[in-house]
Amino acid sequence: MADLLTTFNQPPGGAIATYNFFDIQEGTAITAFYPSKVATGPSAYAYIATTNTEVYSETDGYTDADGMNIDIDITFNLPKILKGVMYMNIPVNVKASSGTEDVAITGTIIHYDGSTETTIGAAVTTPDTSTTTSNASKMRIIKWNLTEKHFRAGETLRITLTGVVDGTGSGQGNIGHSPVGTQNAGSGTLFESLGTSRLTLFVPFKLDIGS
């Protein structure tokens, strides 16, 4: 099951891969991936990305952003070339029990060949999400201009996310990452005002459209 979630497969031969969007002018096709936290053992977890929006996430579909440092990995079964602009929609929540609390998320895009990490999308930090009340949420959007990069079979696209929570009081920041979108998104929960806890990655692939 884990392999199906963490790999992106292109049909062999002359078959056409399924993409969500196309930018013919830029020569790219975009696939939407939805990160999730999955169990890999009794007390072990990993962050993966799936194209299936019926998948849930462990730990109620969110992660504490204070001091967060996570890697979301997409490993390709066949060679791929990434090119163009990559976007991420990320649901961010902050709770304050006193004073003002702020949370900011930083994302970096990495090519990982199994031993070496190479940055292909420089670190970008969201604006602060702040609150002086009990609960506030915003959908933040990060944009990266990617360095064109060839991925061999078995190599990994890695999205590294870090978080900082600070302020004058006490509280907690969180990010949502539930592909199904409903975890902690209903009445009275973390992402109620957003209506979703789904984190979405829009990954651009270079199209071979000939001359």
Q: What is the pLDDT of residues 92-150, one digit of tens each?
A: 998 887 778 889 999 999 999 999 999 999 999 998 888 877 788 999 999 999 999 99
pLDDT (average), residues 37-43 = 90
pLDDT at 35 exceeding the cut of 90: yes
Residue 91 forms part of a structural domain = yes
Q: Which residue has the higher pLDDT, 25 or 195?
A: 195
Residue 88 forms part of a structural domain = yes
Integer Cα distance of 20 and 29 in angstroms = 8
User: What percentage of the chain reaches a pLDDT higher than 70?
Assistant: 91
Confidence band, pLDDT 50/70/90 cuts, at residue 187:
confident
Residue 29 forms part of a structural domain = no
Q: Supply φ then ψ for residue 59, to 5 degrees.
A: 50, 45
Residue 26 forms part of a structural domain = no
Confidence band, pLDDT 50/70/90 cuts, at residue 17:
low
| Domain tally, the chain | 1
Residue 7 forms part of a structural domain = no
pLDDT at 10 exceeding the cut of 60: no
Q: Which residue has the higher pLDDT, 16 or 202?
A: 202
Residue 9 forms part of a structural domain = no
pLDDT at 201 exceeding the cut of 90: yes
The pLDDT score that the predictor gives to residue 26 is: 78
pLDDT at 5 exceeding the cut of 70: no
| Among candidate residues 72, 63, 52, 199, the one with its CA nearest the CA of residue 139 | 199
Q: Which of 11-20, 50-59, 108-117 has the lowest mean pLDDT?
A: 11-20
Residue 4 forms part of a structural domain = no
pLDDT at 91 exceeding the cut of 70: yes
pLDDT at 11 exceeding the cut of 50: no
What's the mean pLDDT when you consider all of the chain? 86
Q: Which of 4-8, 25-29, 41-45, 125-129 has the lowest mean pLDDT?
A: 4-8
Which CATH number belongs to the domain containing residue 146 in this structure? 2.60.120.260
Q: Which residue has the higher pLDDT, 20 or 29?
A: 29
| Among candidate residues 168, 30, 46, the one with its CA nearest the CA of residue 87 | 30
Integer Cα distance of 27 and 208 in angstroms = 8
Look up the domain containing 132 and give its range: 37-206
Residue 179 forms part of a structural domain = yes
Task: Tell me the pTM.
Answer: 0.86
- Cα angle 170-176-124, degrees, rounded to a multiple of 5: 85
**Two tokens, residue 113:** 């060949």
Integer Cα distance of 97 and 165 in angstroms = 13
